[in-house]
Every structure is written in structure tokens, then in C-alpha cells.
Amino acid sequence: MSELSPGNKPTLTDGFPTSIYTAEPGYTALPEWAELAKKMYGYVTYPISIANRTQISAFAALTHIKHPIFGSYLTSAPYSSYGGIWFKDLESANILSTEIKKLAVLLGADYAMARFRGAVPTIWDGWIGSPIYQTYRINLADQGGLEQYSSNHRNHIRKALKKGFEIQIGGAELIEDTYQGLARSMRELGSPYHSKSYLTEMCSILNRKIDLAVVRFGSKIVGAGVFIRHGKEVINLHANILREFRQHYAGEFFYWFMIQHYHEVGLDYFDLGRSLVGSGNEIFKLKWNPQVAPLNYWYYMPKGGNIPEMNQKSPKFQLAIAVWRHLPQFLVNQIGPHLINGIA
């Protein structure tokens, strides 16, 4: 890569600029997250910085996924919702776009994907947008009692609090139970999950930036979640409840407890995580009166064709989901990590 330009024209540099990845939304630009993708699956992350004199004006961290089923592609924010892309002005954004395109061609990738939270001020030339997801952020400063929710939602929370559910929040000591809760509940949804070693490495690499949570009813694991802290915000990476406990409002108990917990520890925002627009997941999250933020996913297709549909709306995925739900748990645990590592 070249040195910083003495003139006004932005030029290309490399590395992870600390001032950007610590301040901008989306923890997936962190070097630690690139280390996780590399250590677990051998995937390489390519950091690209555009600088004007000594000031960074654009940045991208693109991970190269290579999978026998899902192909070869570049993505920001692997295994997450958004992050890893930032630009200060349109000139720098266009230069960044050009460099990502060059990298995609150089690596022979089927496509490159850039994930943004919020509106993107311009459509990059040659990129295709796919605005099918949103994320849901709760301003924790506004949190207090139940009066801010609808009467029906208040009633469900009160019922949940009387059921006898318990929750434990911690770190590496909860890996086994968190894995059991997530692997089982994700199978019910028809989705594979990562291996237990994925959670182990995540805890080791992210350390105090990660919280694991397990919901119990007596001796039973009801559900579990993984939450990542980024500055004054916490992001719901994975969280789910087993189907048999949903009718008892275990999900309401889980989210109510986590919202109150992060409010009490002094964080500013709780991101409930992404959902497909119009999905049941979105309906549940909207009950908490969050700030809805669109997620703009942009695709560059150097070989042409349609953008990939790796979500539950895809007819191909609907068939896979139906089959996955009926596989034995031990088989799901063995095969799942080999599938999910390609759906980044």
C-alpha cells in the first residue's frame, strides 16, 4: 500500500485505524473480530483505509468467505448485522468502493457485500441495494417502569415475572449452557449454529466486551443469548428461547431483564439485533418501543447475476429449514458449524 498523500487527493493505506473502529457503530470492524474469523474458519480479513494527508476519510474491513456450498464472497460484519464500513465524504466513499471492487476481482469473489446501519447518502456506482433487514435500538436512558408499553405487553411481562424463570449473566463459565440453549433453539427455527469452540474463542478474544446469558426454569435451560458491548452500546448478537417456553412469555422475561440490566450498568443503547422486515421476530421487537434503524446491504456482483438470498424468505432456504428442524440434535451439532461458517 502507498504512503499518505501530501496532497488533497485521498490515497490508500492499510491497517485498522483505532479512531474509526472505536467510535463508529458496529463492533465487527474490530481487529479482534477479524482474529476470530481467522482462528475459527481460516478466513482472512482485508482492512482498507482511505486517507487525506494524515486523516482517515474512509475505512472498510472485508472478510473473504470461501465455502463449498455458499461460494466465495467478501463481506463486512461477518456473522453479524452491520459494521466494518465507514466514510466521511462522498469522494472518499467512491474511492473506497473502487478499492473493494478491485479486491473482489483480485480474489475471484462471486460478490462483495457492504453492510450499513442507517441511510447511505449515495448509491455506489455498480452496487445493488437490498433493504430487507432492520435493527431495533432501545435508548436505555428512557427506561423505567412498565407504563411505556402497551397494556397487553405489560400484562405478558407481569405474567412472565411470576413464572419462576431465572437468569444468569456472565462470561466463559456459561459457555456450555449458552451453547446448549442456542444450539437447541436455533435447530427449532431451522437454522444451524456455530460450535461450542466458537463461543470459547469469542469469550477469549473479546474478553470483557462479551456477556453470555442463560435463562432457566428450575433445572431446564429455557434460552440463551450472546451480547457484545461496543462503547456505550450493547448489541444482541444471538438470543433465543425454546419453543415450549414461548407461550409462558419466557422471551418477555429475557428481554425485560436484559434491558433493565444494561440500564443499571450505565450503557446508553441496547440494540435488539436485526430482523427481516415483516417477520414475527420484528413484531416481537417492536413491542419494546425501539428506535427502528434500517440496515442497508449493498452488493457488488463482478460476475453478474442476482444478489444472493441467504435468508428464510428464499424458497431454497425454506426447504433447507424444513429438513433441518427434523434432524437429530447430535447430527445438527456435528454438521451445523460446517454450514453456518459459510453464511456470514
C-alpha 166, offset from chain centre: 26
Residue 283, all three cell numbers: 413484531
Task: Kindly state whether residues 28 and 85 are assigned to the same domain.
Answer: yes
Report the C-alpha gap between 22 and 46 in whole angstroms.
Answer: 18
Task: Kindly state whether residues 203 and 255 are assigned to the same domain.
Answer: yes
Residue 14, all three cell numbers: 492499510
Q: Look up the domain containing 299 and give its range.
A: 11-135+295-340
Last residue of a domain, one of 288, 309, 327: 288
C-alpha 42, offset from chain centre: 19
At 177, give phi and psi (nearest 5°): -70, -35
Res 55: pLDDT? 85
Task: Kindly state whether residues 204 and 250 are assigned to the same domain.
Answer: yes
Report the C-alpha gap between 272 and 10 in whole angstroms.
Answer: 36
Model pLDDT for residues 161-180, shown as the tens digit of each residue: 999 999 999 999 999 999 99
- What's the chain's average pLDDT? 88
Task: Kindly state whether residues 163 and 277 are assigned to the same domain.
Answer: yes
Give the confidence band of 2 by pLDDT, cuts at 50, 70, 90.
very low
In what helix (H) or strand (E) does residue 201 lie, and over which residues does it extend?
Answer: helix 196-206
In-domain check, residue 5? no
As a whole number, mean pLDDT of residues 128-141 equals 92
Question: Can you count the helices (H) and strands (E) in the chain?
Answer: 11, 13
Task: Kindly state whether residues 119 and 188 are assigned to the same domain.
Answer: no
Report the C-alpha gap between 3 and 13 in whole angstroms.
Answer: 7
Report the C-alpha gap between 38 and 66 in whole angstroms.
Answer: 12
Give the confidence band of 320 by pLDDT, cuts at 50, 70, 90.
low
In angstroms, the Cα distances linking 88 to 24, 48, 84, 130 are: 11, 14, 14, 22
Residue appearing with cell numbers 463508529: 24
Task: Kindly state whether residues 175 and 85 are assigned to the same domain.
Answer: no
Task: Kindly state whether residues 170 and 73 are assigned to the same domain.
Answer: no
Task: Kindly state whether residues 40 and 88 are assigned to the same domain.
Answer: yes
CB contact burial 212-244 (16+ within 10 A = b; e otherwise): bbbbbbeeebbbbbbbbbbeebbbbbbbbbbee
Q: Is the pLDDT of residue 330 over 70?
A: yes
Task: Kindly state whether residues 123 and 218 are assigned to the same domain.
Answer: no
In angstroms, the Cα distances linking 61 to 5, 26, 32 are: 21, 11, 12
Tell me, what CATH number does 44's domain have?
A: 3.40.630.30
In-domain check, residue 99? yes
Q: Is the pLDDT of residue 284 over 80?
A: yes
Q: Are 213 and 167 in contact (CB under 8 A)?
A: yes
Res 318: pLDDT? 64
Model pLDDT for residues 262-274, shown as the tens digit of each residue: 999 999 999 999 9
In-domain check, residue 177? yes
Task: Kindly state whether residues 90 and 216 are assigned to the same domain.
Answer: no
Res 106: pLDDT? 96
Give the confidence band of 321 by pLDDT, cuts at 50, 70, 90.
low
In-domain check, residue 79? yes
Residue 61, all three cell numbers: 474491513
Report the C-alpha gap between 314 and 296 in whole angstroms.
Answer: 18
Say what percent of the chain tops pLDDT 70: 90
In-domain check, residue 161? yes
DSSP conformation letters of 217-240: ETTEEEEEEEEEEETTEEEEEEEE
Residue 134 burial (CB count, 10 A)? 21
Q: Are 137 and 286 in contact (CB under 8 A)?
A: no
Report the candidate in 171, 237, 207, 288 with the shortest Cα–Cα distance to residue 32: 207
pTM of the model: 0.90
Of 144-148, 297-301, 330-334, which one has max mean pLDDT? 297-301
Last residue of a domain, one of 252, 268, 288: 288
Last residue of a domain, one of 270, 288, 306: 288
Task: Kindly state whether residues 60 and 93 are assigned to the same domain.
Answer: yes
Model pLDDT for residues 33-46, shown as the tens digit of each residue: 899 999 999 999 99
C-alpha 203, offset from chain centre: 16
Task: Kindly state whether residues 91 and 203 are assigned to the same domain.
Answer: no
As a whole number, mean pLDDT of residues 83-109 equals 92
Say what percent of the chain tops pLDDT 90: 61
- Which ranges of the chain would DSSP assign to H, the alpha helix? 18-21, 31-41, 90-107, 151-161, 175-189, 196-206, 243-246, 250-264, 280-286, 315-324, 329-340
As a whole number, mean pLDDT of residues 20-31 equals 69
In-domain check, residue 2? no
Total number of domains in the chain: 2
Residue 93, all three cell numbers: 466513499
SS3 call for 24: coil
Report the C-alpha gap between 26 and 53 in whole angstroms.
Answer: 26
As a whole number, mean pLDDT of residues 182-200 equals 92
In-domain check, residue 240? yes
Q: Are 30 and 237 in contact (CB under 8 A)?
A: no
In-domain check, residue 1? no
